[in-house]
Amino acid sequence: MTEFASGTLTGKNLHLSFGHNHVLRGIDLHVEKGTTASVIGPSGSGKSTLLRVMNRLIEPDQGDILLDGRSVLKDNPDELRQRIGMVFQQFNLFPHKTVVDNVSLALRKLRKLPQEQARAEALEQLDLVGLKHKADARPANLSGGQQQRVAIARALAMKPEVMFFDEATSALDPELVKGVLALMTDLAKGGMTMVVVTHEMGFSRNVSDTVTFMDAGVVVESGPPQQIFSEPRTDRLKDFLSDVL
Amino acid sequence: MDLLDQLADTFFNWEEMAKVIPALLMVGLPNTLILAIASGILGSLLGLGLAMMGISRNAGARWVARIYTDIFRGLPAILVILVIGIGLSPIAREITGSRNPYPLGILALTLVAAAYIGEIFRSGIQSVEKGQLEASRALGFSYGSSMRLVVVPQGIRRVLPALVNQFISLLKDSSLVFMLGLAASDREIFRIGNDAMANTGNLSPLVAAGVLYLILTVPLTHFVNYIDHRLRTGKPEKKEPDELAAPIGKGAQA
């Protein structure tokens, strides 16, 4: 893997409500440069919403977001999102564009690279995820695992400082999960700053540097994987782990 | 068999048809195509604007689009054509210096078509999964760019069959501009058939006009079916197994 221009990301006291539904109730999350934080918890606990708040797809009601120690809440949110790559459960590739155009679109339109150069950089990214030979295929003709690797290449092409993964393997057939997890592991080892919302406890335990357990919009426990998985302190985390492990 | 002969003469008098065919093809066909294509293009542009307003976060814009659509979808096309064509003709004459009713005919057809096309576009755009907009915005595209580059192109693709149907409608409705009184060289297909019928008292010229409409519309309806089928099933292409995952899958089986 190439080297990454990773950054340090901090969410402070983040709150968000949809009407009466208080989804995030004062979340703190700190991801040190070059490390991987995984976020685990039952569905509906606000994990995916937390990612969307931290790249301002949804604006928080309260709290602060810092990238490399500087608050980004006053910045243009579109510029912030260029610095944070995001990978989705449902891949969300653009079905009307070829694989290479999916990857090069933002390079051409946002980084304003000329067509040739954008394609060359996109092919380079596709090569990193092992799919250069699929450059001119349509996403619909790829397997789920291949689509997700293209989605990762698309996010990486913008040279983000942080990568978000929102249950990136949950929609995949079991035999395709490992290929995507292996790629995510490579990124983590390559020094990318990552926030990984996941149900893959193996990945959370073995690859991440810190684990955050969320339930009902609050951080119940967080710490190194060893502590979270081997010495859980709260009943809620113990219950959760006994349900999923 | 007098009666049958009489019927055959009324509808299929080849001589009368032959007389009207040159005018149908040289004058009527181009004029019908001009009316339908011009109002089709303008109606699509206006319709796209209406669709964007219809899904806008601005309540005022949504209301304007709603009211416009209700009015122009709720009125008979012939009424709109008459009201616009006659009501605005003094202004049009002032501006263009010509008595040609085509600009106003096209305007009226456009206004009506836009109401339908706007609804077609809106339903197509709203059918695009929310994740597409989210993925585009997560890359750093603005709302406008995301709509333009990602969401709207997919939405339009999905409603191509409905759009072609709308164009077929326009081809037929273009006949209504005859109400505005056309000079000989401005007549479209229907008017030419109608005039010949009035002059000869024989229906065959109108039948010939009808056949010409069918020559235009029937291939289009089959084209709709073709693209509809194509959009539904996609181009068949061979899928390859995920080659990174394949060895893992085999390992798991062993």
Tens place of pLDDT per residue across chain B (254 aa): 688 888 888 889 888 899 999 999 999 999 999 999 999 999 999 999 999 999 998 999 999 999 999 999 999 999 999 999 999 988 888 888 888 888 999 999 999 999 999 999 999 999 999 999 999 999 999 999 999 999 999 999 889 899 999 999 999 999 999 988 888 888 999 999 999 999 998 999 999 999 999 999 999 989 988 887 877 765 555 444 444 444 443 333 33
Q: What is the DSSP string of A182-220?
A: HHHHHHHHTT-EEEEE-S-HHHHHHT-SEEEEEETTEEE
Question: Under an 8 A CB cutoff, do A176 and B237 touch?
Answer: no
The predicted-structure confidence for A14-58, as pLDDT tens digits, reads as follows 999 999 999 999 999 999 999 999 999 999 899 999 999 999 999
- Asked if residues A67 and A8 have their Cβ atoms less than 8 Å apart, the reply is yes
Torsion sign (Cα): B193, B198, B200, B202? positive
Dihedral of the alpha carbons of B70, B72, B77, B79, in degrees to the nearest 10: 100
In sequence order, the 6+-apart residues with CB closer than 8 A to the CB of B64 are B53
Q: Which of B138, B154, B249 sits opposite A81 (nearest CB)?
A: B138
List phi, psi (to 5°) of B235: -75, 130
Question: Under an 8 A CB cutoff, do A95 and B252 touch?
Answer: no
Q: Which residue of B has its CA nearest to A174?
A: B249
- Asked if residues B108 and B139 have their Cβ atoms less than 8 Å apart, the reply is no
Question: Under an 8 A CB cutoff, do A176 and B245 touch?
Answer: yes
Q: Which of A110, A138, A154 sits opposite B141 (nearest CB)?
A: A110
Q: Residue for token digits 């709509």?
A: B147
The predicted-structure confidence for B87-109, as pLDDT tens digits, reads as follows 998 888 888 888 888 899 999 99
Question: Under an 8 A CB cutoff, do A145 and B252 touch?
Answer: no
Q: How far is B225 from chain A, CA to nearest CA, in Å?
A: 20
Please name every residue paired with A39 in a beta bridge, in sequence order, or none if there are none: A197, A212
Which residues in A lie closer than 8 A to residue B138 (C-beta atoms)?
55, 57, 81, 84-86, 88, 155
Identify the contact set of chain B against chain A, taking CB-CB distances under 8 A.
129, 131-132, 134-142, 145, 149-150, 153-154, 157, 234, 237-245, 248-249, 252
d(CA A213, CA A201) in angstroms, rounded, equals 12
Question: Under an 8 A CB cutoff, do B154 and A95 touch?
Answer: yes
**Maximum separation of any 2 CA atoms in chain A, in Å:** 56
